[in-house]
Amino acid sequence: MNIIVGISGASGIVLAIKTIKSLIAAGYGIDLVITGAALATAKQELNLSTPKKILAELSSDNIRIHSLYDFTAAIASGSYHTEGMIIVPCSMSTLAAVAIGLSDNLLRRAADVCLKERRPLTLVPRETPLSAIHLRHMLTLTEMGAHIVAPMPAWYNLPKTLSEVEDFIVGKVLDSLKIKHQLYPVWPL
């Protein structure tokens, strides 16, 4: 059971870290690809400036990291079977590229492969406010069967910490792939 995780350069790198940890806890192997902009964001938000530091933070042997322009990587081909892909966080740039089929790096190519193979694809787009272009791309991807799981908190579950808000969002990401978890309390509380 392998899932591809793409980390792009939007805010919310902690969501990627928590998503990967939750997937590993659920028994998945991870094919990981990180954009250059994601490294800049990771440095700003978590002081993780290199793929090596991100891997150390994840501390698992169950992660295979791919370089961003290695189009010979397994995840560039539909013949390599995966359970799908999560792009978390997803920048508006990566969102746009995936929506129009622009496969100019390995993250975008892997997402394109998921779409053409009709495999689950979940994007966690982070931007606010959203322009008509952003919204159109999200609609296009939804119409192609992808899941748009925007990182929006809920208040009805009375979160007390930012970490609880993050867990709720990661739980919703896992829900989109029908992966069981206990990241947030089920309603009614």
Ligand X SMILES: Cc1cc2nc3c(=O)[nH]c(=O)nc-3n(C[C@H](O)[C@H](O)[C@H](O)COP(=O)(O)O)c2cc1C
- Contacts with ligand X by CB under 6 A lie at 8-11, 35, 37-38, 40-41, 44, 91-94, 126-127
Rounded Cα–Cα distance for residues 151 and 122 (Å):
12
Among 39, 42, 5, 46, CA closest to 22: 5
By C-beta, is 23 or 124 nearer to ligand X?
124
> Smallest gap, in angstroms, from Cβ of residue 131 to ligand X?
11
Nearest-angstrom CA–CA distance, 90 and 148:
10
Minimum distance from residue 26 beta carbon to ligand X (Å): 26
Q: How far is the CB of 31 from ligand X (least distance, A)?
A: 17
**CB-nearer residue toward ligand X: 13 or 58:** 13
Query: In the block, which residue shows the tokens 């579950």?
Result: 157
Angle subtended by helix axes 13-25 and 162-176, to nearest 10: 60
Taking the complex as a whole, how short is the minimal distance between the CB of residue 64 and ligand X, in angstroms? Answer: 20
Beta strands in the chain (DSSP E): 2-7, 29-34, 63-66, 85-90, 121-125, 147-148
Residue 41 CB, nearest distance to ligand X (Å)?
5
* Residue 111 φ then ψ, to 5°: -65, -40
Which residue's CB is nearer to ligand X, number 124 or number 179? Answer: 124
Gap between the Cα atoms of 43 and 65, Å rounded: 18
- Return the residue nearest ligand X (CB atom): 9
- CB closer to ligand X out of 125 and 171: 125
The number of beta carbons lying within 10 Å of the beta carbon of residue 71 is 15
Q: Which residue, 1 or 40, has its beta carbon nearer to ligand X? A: 40
Alpha helices, H only, 117-161: 132-143
